[in-house]
Amino acid sequence: MKDQPITLNCNGKLLYLDQPAVMGILNVTPDSFYDGGSYCTESAILHRCETILEEGAVIVDVGAVSTRPGSLQASAAEEELHLVQAISAIRKHFPDTLISIDTYRADIARRMVTEYGAAIINDISAGTMDNRMFETIAELNVPYILMHMQGTPENMQQHPAYNDVMTDLIRFFTEQIFRLRQMGLKDIIIDAGFGFGKTLDHNYEILNGMRQLEIFECPILAAVSRKSMIYRLLETDPQQALNGTSVVHTLALLQGADILRVHDVKEAMETIKIVQKYLRYVLS
């Protein structure tokens, strides 16, 4: 539990992080690593969104490009088409929803915010895949999820290496956050990028060192849901990784995570409730 809760201005709506929040994943791609192809029709999108909200998530993170290891970049036109379909439907049926857009393209970020009311931009590349992203985000003045990735989705798992993974992450975030602050952006969310250019050991070293990221005084997002750091360790697959995900969510919360980005909202909400109860006794 942090001493000073953080408030984010999400395109005119305030998100008060007095306790950890859940971001529900809505992938409208045919090839995402866990649920690819499940939400490609309007009815499926709306049903998924309704489930996310009913189970307690405060943010719906919509992505239209798969970023699984080895994936190739989809075209901007294809990404935009899928996003417009999804967000238009959500806006019509769930108008008060806080929508995050999972994109690394500045033009798409701009259109989704200005024309469709998206509230947060979630960029896996932290501005490294589109050199106009930072200036675009600064102009839009919406919360920006700054994620660390070594390489690109196509090559990021080809022998990732660090001098010291936490030191390298802190150096990276220091540089990127300084640039964004110089541009006037206030609301920055840090994502260490579990699974994005990291070995299994790198991921657990980051999990153990997450509290070091509190030096930036930004909300910390943990995106570990059903990832290979869980299912490969357990020698299973993404479909059987829910129990392991809940365990890693617990560890991330104990290491200061403010937002969990998840496939399974109900289970994440239960994890938060238990950890919050536990921490009240630890800190009393």
Residues with catalytic annotation? 227, 261
CA distance 139 to 141: 5
* Run of H or E residues at 22: strand 21-27
**Token pair 């709506």 is at which residue?**
13
Nearest of 62, 60, 71 to residue 97 by alpha carbon? 60
CA distance 231 to 233: 5
CA distance 239 to 121: 27
**Count of CB atoms situated within 10 Å of the CB of 70:** 12
- DSSP-derived pairing of the beta strands 6-10 and 13-17: antiparallel
CA distance 102 to 217: 23
Nearest of 275, 264, 214, 195 to residue 23 by alpha carbon? 264
